Amino acid sequence: MPGARVPGRTWTVRLTGHPDHTVSVTCSTAACQMPARSKDAATMRRFAAEHVKAHGRLAGARPNAACSCGSTQCALHESRVHCTGSALLVLVHNPAVGQVWTLAEVCQACARHIPHLAVLATAKPALPTPAIPDAAQPAQRAAVPGGFSSLEAAPEPSPGRRRPHRPRRSWG
């Protein structure tokens, strides 16, 4: 179903102290590789912060994501809120505690009630695509993943402008 919502995602990265004066970093994603315990708490804290930021860069906000607060009974904020608005990818980190970073997909309404929040991404609504292309509209070129360009994806030059001549390179 194209309009179906998918559950909002949540990641938690935690810095934990141990009786032997070492610290460890854990991530709620089991596949993540974490460093061994260390006595260097500052380095481990930087690693934890960078690790959660990496999850944020890779994840992005999904336009069909439901608010993750619903599945956690609004654990990120105290007041009950009716979930509305676009999905946001947010980072929740209380610098006074400094040991837990939470990355979550939440709605705009819930985001207003979450303390110590930074919005990392806002979901862009998916554009509706027609089932049958209209013959009156010119065919659109496919986007190239990753923002790279190719000859197929390049716009056609305008008739009034000419590009300057460049000599051909020989690769050999």
* 2-30 tens-digit pLDDT: 567 888 898 999 999 999 999 999 999 99
Burial 50-74 (b: 16+ CB within 10 A, else e): ebbeebbeebebbeebbbbbbeeeb
Over range 87-92, report the average pLDDT. Answer: 91
Predicted confidence at residue 68, as pLDDT, reads 81
Higher pLDDT: 66 or 139? It is 66
User: Model confidence over 109-124: pLDDT tens digits?
Assistant: 888 888 889 999 998 7
Tell me the pLDDT of the chain averaged across its residues.
76
Predicted confidence at residue 23, as pLDDT, reads 96
Predicted confidence at residue 40, as pLDDT, reads 96
Predicted confidence at residue 144, as pLDDT, reads 38
Cα–Cα distance measured from residue 11 to residue 52, given in angstroms and rounded to the nearest whole number: 8
Indicate whether 41 pLDDT > 80.
yes
Predicted confidence at residue 157, as pLDDT, reads 44
User: How far apart, in Å, are the Cα atoms of 80 and each of 66, 68, 107, 112, 116?
Assistant: 16, 14, 13, 12, 18
Residue 108: CB atoms within 10 Å = 16
Indicate whether 145 pLDDT > 50.
no
Residue 8: CB atoms within 10 Å = 24
Phi-psi region of 60 (alpha: psi -120 to 50; beta: other; left: phi over 0): left
Long-range contacts of 109-115 (CB under 8 A, 24+ apart): 109/67, 109/81, 109/82, 109/83, 109/84, 109/85, 110/67, 110/69, 110/74, 110/76, 110/77, 110/81, 110/83, 111/85, 112/81, 113/77, 113/78, 113/79, 113/81, 114/76, 114/77, 114/90, 115/77
Indicate whether 142 pLDDT > 50.
no
Indicate whether 159 pLDDT > 60.
no
Indicate whether 1 pLDDT > 70.
no
Q: Which pLDDT band holds residue 55 (cuts at 50, 70, 90)?
A: very high
